[in-house]
């Protein structure tokens, strides 16, 4: 089953209050799908020193299945942070588990000894030398590619600008529609591809642009920086909800208490239960899937918030796609706070995660 965007009922009051005390059981999810608090992942976010603002961003990304890219110099923990992301995601529901198992079966990825449904969310991390067909799917009789194998899970692209620009451009359709269509002479094949895109990248080729206060200085010329970043097109960047800087901590030995995966997972599960209740009558599961009438109803902005967002769009020159993604991100931030109405504070936090939109990206 492909989960698409749905339409809400007729115009009703936009604020939907959720009673958290009555969300102990959601019929769509089996008891076996409820994640355990301990032992889910050996790697824990508590192992990563500092970077609590990045962990906050990753919590938001996991809570609403929002695409995210981490940018910073080498050695700041970008890869470590993303590889721990599966440990805070909710387990697959029964229907999601069936979808994922069917895809892996069609791709010939199920082990002969495996029985039953796959229960863990996929985490796919292809090498930057992958071809467009490998990423999107293909062959004489097309098989699912990495974007479909990551369905309902995470697609991790490490060192994003190292991927061929032509390869990256094939991500546009799945990021927008949640599916991939491959046409052949006799038939067209459609595979589901609704995933959380998580990426990491350096700020420039050498990796040290803006790395002030250290002995390592950027050696890249402006032309080389532009060439490096131009591999990420504007339309692709527009589809990445969160663009977060990962700076080098000033004092490694003076970091405060580190947020753990269990703490982050508890926040994500709480927000996911709110979304499950809110969208129980719609064919969507996550805030990132909202569109059209459903977006206007469930992510309603009051006059003050709407004016704030309009001013931001004008000053940053953002697209209408970015406008909608900011609102969906703000909806998730509000859910994490257990708040029904989106406030200006939620919008302001959502906008600050559009960091790369405030920098100059030179197109080829």
Domain count, the chain: 2
The domain in which residue 123 lies consists of: 38-248
The 10 Å Cβ neighbour count of residue 13 is 8
For residues 237 and 294, membership in a common domain is answered with: no
Cα 223–Cα 224–Cα 230 angle in degrees, nearest 5: 85
Please measure the distance between the N-terminal and C-terminal CA atoms of the chain and give it in whole angstroms: 38
Q: Which of 20-34, 176-190, 335-349 has the lowest mean pLDDT?
A: 20-34
CA torsion, ordered 32, 47, 154, 293, to nearest 10 deg: 80
Give the tens place of pLDDT for each residue, 63-84. Answer: 999 999 999 999 889 999 999 9
User: Last residue of a domain, which of 248, 271, 286?
Assistant: 248
CATH, residue 167: 3.40.50.300
Please state, in angstroms and rounded to a whole number, the distance separating the CA atoms of residues 31 and 15: 30
Q: Determine the pLDDT at residue 208.
A: 86
> Which residue in 77, 145, 149, 158 sits closest to 120, CA to CA?
149
At 157, is the pLDDT very low, low, confident or very high (cuts 50, 70, 90)? very high
Q: Which of 38-42, 131-135, 166-170, 306-310 has the lowest mean pLDDT?
A: 38-42
What pTM, to 2 d.p., does this model score? 0.85
Please state, in angstroms and rounded to a whole number, the distance separating the CA atoms of residues 328 and 319: 14
Q: Say if 303 falls within a structural domain.
A: yes
58 within 8 A of 267, measured Cβ to Cβ: no
For residues 236 and 322, membership in a common domain is answered with: no
> Which residue in 53, 61, 64 sits closest to 288, CA to CA?
64
For residues 223 and 326, membership in a common domain is answered with: no
Q: For the chain, how many residues are written?
A: 364
Where is pLDDT greater, at 21 or 185? 185
Contacts of 47 (CB under 8 A, 6+ apart): 80, 84, 258
User: Last residue of a domain, which of 194, 221, 248?
Assistant: 248
Please state, in angstroms and rounded to a whole number, the distance separating the CA atoms of residues 57 and 23: 25
For residues 346 and 268, membership in a common domain is answered with: yes
Burial-class residue 283 by CB neighbours within 10 Å (0-12, 13-18, 19+). middle
Please state, in angstroms and rounded to a whole number, the distance separating the CA atoms of residues 124 and 138: 17
User: Last residue of a domain, which of 202, 221, 248?
Assistant: 248
For residues 111 and 228, membership in a common domain is answered with: yes
Q: Which of 77-81, 113-117, 119-123, 247-251 has the lowest mean pLDDT?
A: 113-117
Please state, in angstroms and rounded to a whole number, the distance separating the CA atoms of residues 109 and 89: 22
For residues 101 and 183, membership in a common domain is answered with: yes
Which of 37-41, 51-55, 195-199, 232-236 has the highest average model confidence (pLDDT)?
195-199
């Amino acid at each position: 089953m492909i989960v698409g965007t749905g339409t809400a009922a007729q115009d009703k009051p936009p604020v939907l209050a959720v009673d958290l005390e009555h969300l102990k059981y959601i019929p769509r999810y089996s008891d076996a799908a409820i994640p355990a608090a301990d032992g889910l992942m050996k790697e824990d976010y508590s192992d990563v020193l500092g970077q609590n603002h990045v962990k906050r961003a990753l919590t938001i990304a996991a809570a609403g299945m929002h695409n995210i890219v981490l940018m910073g110099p080498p050695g700041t923990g970008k890869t470590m942070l993303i590889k721990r992301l599966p440990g805070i995601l909710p387990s697959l529901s029964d229907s999601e588990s069936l979808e994922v198992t069917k895809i892996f079966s069609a791709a010939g990825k199920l082990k002969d000894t495996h029985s039953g449904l796959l229960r863990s969310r996929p985490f796919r991390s292809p090498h930057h030398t992958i071809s467009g067909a490998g990423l999107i799917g293909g062959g004489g009789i097309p098989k699912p590619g990495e974007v479909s194998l990551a369905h309902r899970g995470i697609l991790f692209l490490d060192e994003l600008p190292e991927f061929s620009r032509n390869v990256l451009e094939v991500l546009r359709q799945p990021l927008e529609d949640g599916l991939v269509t491959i046409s052949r002479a006799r038939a067209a094949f459609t595979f589901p591809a609704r995933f959380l895109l998580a990426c990491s990248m350096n700020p420039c080729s050498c990796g040290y642009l803006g790395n002030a206060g250290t002995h390592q200085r950027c050696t890249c010329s402006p032309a080389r920086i532009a060439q490096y970043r131009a591999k990420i097109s504007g339309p692709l960047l527009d589809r990445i909800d969160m663009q977060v800087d990962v700076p080098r901590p000033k004092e490694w030995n003076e970091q405060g208490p580190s947020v753990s995966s269990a703490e982050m997972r508890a926040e994500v599960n709480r927000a996911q239960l709110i979304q499950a209740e809110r969208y129980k009558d719609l064919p969507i599961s996550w805030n990132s899937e909202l569109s059209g009438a459903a977006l206007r109803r469930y992510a309603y902005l009051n006059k003050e918030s709407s004016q704030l967002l309009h001013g931001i769009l004008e000053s940053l020159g953002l697209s209408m796609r970015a406008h909608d993604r900011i609102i969906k991100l703000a909806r998730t931030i509000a859910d994490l706070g257990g708040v029904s109405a989106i406030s200006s504070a939620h919008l302001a936090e959502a906008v600050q995660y559009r960091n790369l939109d405030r920098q100059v990206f030179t197109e080829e």
